[in-house]
Amino acid sequence: MQPMEDEPQVQKRSPQYDVVIFGASGFTGKYVVQEALKFLNTPSSPLKSLALAGRNPTKLRETLKWAAHPQNPPPHIPILTADTTDPQSLRRLCTQTKLILNCVGPFRLYGEPVVAACAETGCDYLDICGEPEFMERMEAKYHEKAVETGSLVVSACGFDSVPAELGFMFNSRQWVAPAVPNRVEAYLSLESEKRIVGNLGTYESAVLGVANADKLLELRRSRPRRARPVIPGPPPPKGPTIEHQKNIGLHAVKLPSADSIVVRRTLATLTENPDGLPGLNESAEQIERRKAFWSTVKPAHFGVKIGTKSLLGIYRIIAVGIFIGILGKVAFGRWLLLKFPSFFSLGWFEKKGPTEDEVRSASFKMWFVGHGFGDINLISQGNSKPDMEIVTRVMGPEIGYLTTPIILLQCALIVLNQRDNLPKGGVYPPGIVFGPTDLQERLQQNGISFDVVSKNAISA
């Protein structure tokens, strides 16, 4: 009887470290270490002990020096050796820590052994994945085991997809009854005083995503259909391929990111659990607070577009999308894309990554344009055209190396500090886990802002 044997093992866990950052020497991992050091042993921080893990101890020590500069690295930060090809090393890692922050991507290639080890041992897990096929496959394979062992597994705790999740909820909560939203469109605008250089891992994930698109469809067909939220009003019109949003000054085109999929997964979970997910050991006061929060979140159709101020920028985005979409379907095409990222991305992605100056000078704005009804009763009277618009905005620093580590660390601090208020275990998107916590307030204190831009009636 396997479950009976596992239960005592989970309760006997007495990990040495609060957090292990796995893949700490990678492009994003080193910035995650830098962010973590800000909260290590500071007043009121629950992060009292930290370890770095990966394949190469020398690189990890160099990362620690880089992250601590200009100070010396703090003493007593252990360097642990673990490899995704060695399941035993991963299980050992999981027994040593409360929480693993996984920065080893592409997750489709390297993520599953880490999730498997966490689900087996009851260790909590957060990552910065933006790959829908990986996230949904992990849910299908490990959710039940994670519930049983008490392992909380949450992907997309970075720019994919917390700004989209919290940004959607922030817009949704501005629709005060009797008003209701029908659709919310997010428009992402990347800005820089120098030039924009993307995270190479994001590019690799996009290429592999095209290669595995059939597997995602196959996975979804094999699983039971999720509950669909009831959204007031008709489905939104398709709209043009290239859109001009005059009120935010952007030309935009659909962005095939994980964000809309992750938001839909949160809304499906909320439809099945209208009061949200119960915490491991919540107080009566916390239960009421959670229920009150979710009662203010209203479902809506959601999509994400990427925008630029010029039409030329949109044509460039479309060209890169065509390269990846066509060449990513065949092995030789993928080899070309991954061998020459700068050429096929028209200079947006480079193997050496951005300079520190380029990272510091970049920022993002994510606009959420909500359309809906000023009074839900109008829909039953035959008025099916939205008559109200609410625009909100999330803004912050560069997305891959600054915003993502800020988000990941704040999610980690919540897991450490508020574990009793979070689900016992299971594989979930970030919105359903962190929505009712103080994550939005924490992000606002760390340079990521949430604003209401406008509320307007729309003339028929």
pLDDT, average across residues 145-166: 97
pLDDT interval class at 11 (50, 70, 90): very low
Contacts of 203 (CB under 8 A, 6+ apart): 341, 345, 348, 349
Does residue 3 surpass a pLDDT of 50? no
Kindly state the percentage of the chain with pLDDT values over 90: 78
In this structure, what is the dihedral angle of CA atoms 411, 416, 422, 427, given to the nearest 10 degrees?
60
pLDDT interval class at 409 (50, 70, 90): very high
* The pLDDT value given to residue 441: 98
pLDDT interval class at 60 (50, 70, 90): very high
pLDDT interval class at 125 (50, 70, 90): very high
Contacts of 246 (CB under 8 A, 6+ apart): none
Q: Average pLDDT, whole number, for the chain?
A: 92
Does residue 417 surpass a pLDDT of 50? yes
And the tokens for 271?
């439809």
* The pLDDT value given to residue 355: 85
* The pLDDT value given to residue 367: 98
Query: Does residue 70 have a cis bond before it (omega within 30 degrees)?
Result: yes
User: Three-state SS for 125?
Assistant: strand
> Buried b vs exposed e over 49-84: b needs ≥16 C-beta within 10 Å?
bbbbbbbeeebbeebbeebeeeeebeeebebbebbb
Measured CA angle at 79 (ends 76, 81), to 5 deg: 155
* The pLDDT value given to residue 10: 43
The ranges assigned to domains in the chain are: 2-155, 162-400+447-457
SS3 content of the chain, % helix, strand, coil (to 5): 45, 20, 35
pLDDT interval class at 4 (50, 70, 90): very low
Query: 20-33: per-residue pLDDT in tens?
Result: 999 999 989 999 99
Which has more pLDDT, 257 or 139? 139
pLDDT interval class at 460 (50, 70, 90): low
Q: What are phi and psi of 81, to 5 degrees?
A: -100, 125
* The pLDDT value given to residue 272: 96
CA distance linking residue 260 with residue 172, whole number of Å: 15
pLDDT interval class at 195 (50, 70, 90): confident
Query: 218-228: per-residue pLDDT in tens?
Result: 888 998 888 89
This prediction's pTM: 0.93
Into which CATH architecture does domain 2-155 fall?
3-Layer(aba) Sandwich (3.40)
pLDDT interval class at 315 (50, 70, 90): very high
And the tokens for 148?
């049983």
pLDDT, average across residues 446-451: 98
Does residue 127 surpass a pLDDT of 80? yes
Does residue 163 surpass a pLDDT of 90? yes
CA distance linking residue 445 with residue 439, whole number of Å: 10
* The pLDDT value given to residue 7: 40
pLDDT interval class at 8 (50, 70, 90): very low
* The pLDDT value given to residue 237: 86
Write down the H helix ranges in 195-347.
200-211, 213-222, 259-272, 284-295, 311-327, 331-339, 341-344
Kindly state the percentage of the chain with pLDDT values over 70: 97
C-beta of residue 256 within 8 angstroms of C-beta of residue 133 = no
Altogether, the residues listed in the chain come to a count of 460
